[in-house]
Chain A
Amino acid sequence: MEIKRTIKYEADRVPGFGRDVMSVPGCEALEHCIQCGTCSGVCPLSIYMDYTPRQVMELVRSDFKNEVLQSHTIWLCASCYACTTECPRQIRITDIMYELKQRAIKEEVYPKRFPIPVLAEEFTKMVHDYGRISETWLVTKMYLRTNPMAALGMAGLGMNLMKTGRFSLKQDKIEHREELAKIMEAVDHENGKAKA
């Protein structure tokens, strides 16, 4: 039996984290959270989360950086925006979840073989390389990096897609890939400059 402390120490905080998140466009209103729990109530996935959305809001505001960035919660958010729509304080909870996902990827604290962030990364890479998504290749790449054996369980689905003419191995691409690459590079440049 593993005994774990369930109450957090104040020393676990990373002072300034909450302020920093709340300074990001779209995340400002977090300051006004009244901890009513409407977000957790309407969230279709909160029953699977280690911290409910309401708890994540308070953890962020109270500087518990490590807890939120390592939580499953941020990856379980399916971006249905139910919480954002229902929040009585107009907090854009979905956008805060996006901000936390970006930070978890940047700091490399997400579970490496967890399919959700892996899918996000492979998706992004494919947009960079080709400008468009080809679903078959995207899913294949995700399985190869997370659980190659599980791909076998997808054979039936592939067959059905073939039967209905919805399966394609063609990697769709845009014509001006260099244009998109240049735009992306310029964003990196701008952001680097902004931080310097």
Chain B
Amino acid sequence: MKYAYFPGCSLKGTGRAYEESLLPVMKHLGVELQELDDWNCCGATAYMAVDEGKACAAAARNLAIAEKSGLQQILAPCSACYLVLNKTQHYLHEYPAMRQTVSRALATVGLRCDGSSAVRHPLDVLINDIGLEAVKQKITRPLKGLKVAPYYGCQIVRPYATFDDQSNPTTMDRLLETLGATVIKWPLKTKCCGGSLTGTLPEAGLRLSYILLKEAIKRGADVIATVCPLCQFNLDAYHPKIAAKWEPVPIPTVYFSQLMGLAFGLPADQVVLNRGMVPMKPLAAAMA
């Protein structure tokens, strides 16, 4: 199995633990990833607010590069990248005027995007292409006794849910159970973490993250598993601010891929629990 890989800016920056843990896990499962040549920022939620045409064109440059590479499937682990690349595909298919604008713009630099590639999320690939049976066979250290709150966030299932339910997704639940972990009942699994509002309007943004952390602890979770670099940042890096404003709610938030690495028995520098700010103690205790 081979996929084009679109890391996005966060996975090279504050969300590097996602890439550092996901790549070894995929390799361990026999999946080959080829990073898109000279990829550019997807535009995230910010660009669409300024200029939709340009936002689509910038995202489409990546789709065009993927098509040129001959790989039909693009793996996009970051929720914002996943959404924006998918949204661009939808716009190109649904709106002829947008397709024309973008096609002409890409043509000026000799690129072409016919919207033929599929933008996939790692959870989708793990469940539907690789299969949980294959995942199970790689487990050497089942996560027995570890209670996990699966946190999907907003943008991988909304608005273009292609591989999971929009209000009650279960792919990560099933994956975590396969790893041997106990998945807690967690009705907040798709509630917003505040996105970039944690920085721009802390009063509103931080409260949303605070509620998620508090409810995870209340429901007995040892750790929160996430799929999104912004969710991870908000729940982990802003904890001191949340503690100062309301109360300490110290529960670590890790990427699902880090938990996979743990269960596969991969070395510490491929599980990178040291990238978290909230102490990973509960995780270490569960692993002892």
Contacts and interface: CB of A to CB of B under 8 A. Distances in A.
B275 A115 contact: no
B221 interface: no
A166 interface: yes
B51 A124 contact: yes
Interface in A123-169: 123-124, 126-127, 131-136, 139, 142, 156-157, 160-161, 163-168
Interface stretch (A9-17, A29-37, A63-71, A172-180): A172-180
A186 to B, nearest CB: 4
Contact of A102 (B51, B158, B190): B51
Contacts, number: 194
Interface of A: 25-26, 44-45, 48, 76, 78-82, 84-85, 92, 94, 98-99, 101-102, 105, 115-117, 119-121, 123-124, 126-127, 131-136, 139, 142, 156-157, 160-161, 163-168, 172, 174-176, 179-180, 182-188, 190-191, 194
Nearest to B43: A127
Contact of A81 (B10, B52, B158): B158
B16 A182 contact: no
A157 to B, nearest CB: 6
B94 A44 contact: no
B16 to A, nearest CB: 6
A160 B49 contact: no
A168 B159 CA distance: 33
Contact of B53 (A48, A98, A187): A187
Given A134-B9, A161-B237, A190-B53, A123 B46 contact: yes
A176 B37 CA distance: 10
16 contacts: A44-B192, A45-B197, A48-B201, A76-B201, A80-B158, A81-B158, A85-B167, A115-B201, A116-B200, A117-B49, A119-B196, A123-B44, A133-B13, A133-B41, A160-B237, A166-B275
B204 interface: yes
B233 to A, nearest CB: 9
B163 to A, nearest CB: 15
B12 A172 contact: yes
Interface of B: 9-10, 12-17, 38-41, 43-54, 57-58, 61, 91, 94-95, 97-98, 100-102, 104-106, 108-109, 111, 154-155, 158-159, 166-167, 190-192, 194-197, 199-201, 203-205, 208, 237-238, 240-241, 274-277
Contacts of A116: 196-197, 200-201
B157 to A, nearest CB: 8
Contacts of A179: 61, 109
B282 to A, nearest CB: 17
